[in-house]
Amino acid sequence: EIVMTQSPATLSVSPGERATLSCRASQTISTNLAWYQQKPGQAPRLLIYGISIRATDIPARFSGSGSGTEFTLTIDSLQSEDFALYSCQQYNKGPPWTFGQGTKVEFK
């Protein structure tokens, strides 16, 4: 099983600032990495797939990068609606298809 580890667990950011979230895989996962956003009471939302491809209607301030086992989600100029839980997921090898434990982006 591929283990996904996210850091930090919580990130305190002020509106307008940049947020940088990390995700590490326990083995190489090629380009098969996705990021999701979760808000309480709402359906999770696909943000990024293929490491860096934004899903439909995702604003350009969200970007993904990385390779091999180390990946990053960057949110430029954080907006109020961006405060949420963010999870990475590998779909390179499975089952199981595994997620990180999440990074909560909170208001500083």
Using CB under 8 A as the binding rule, the residues of this chain from 25 to 44 that contact other proteins are 32, 34, 36, 41-44
Name 106's Cβ contacts closer than 8 Å, sequence gap at least 6.
10, 11, 12, 13, 83
Q: Is 102 in the site for other proteins (CB under 8 A)?
A: yes
Q: Considering just the CA atoms, what is the radius of gyration of the chain in Å?
A: 13
Kindly state the smallest distance separating residue 32's Cβ from other proteins, in Å: 8
Kindly state the smallest distance separating residue 20's Cβ from other proteins, in Å: 19
Judged by beta carbon, residue 83 or residue 91, the one nearer other proteins is 91
Kindly state the smallest distance separating residue 93's Cβ from other proteins, in Å: 10
Kindly state the smallest distance separating residue 88's Cβ from other proteins, in Å: 10
Q: How far, in whole angstroms, is CA 14 from its chain's centroid? A: 18
Site string for other proteins, 57-86 (x = CB under 8 A): ------------------------------
Sheet holding 103-107, edge to edge: 10-13, 103-107, 85-90, 33-38, 45-49, 53-54
Judged by beta carbon, residue 21 or residue 34, the one nearer other proteins is 34
Q: Is 55 in the site for other proteins (CB under 8 A)?
A: yes
User: With contact defined as beta carbons under 8 Å apart, do 53 and 34 qualify?
Assistant: no
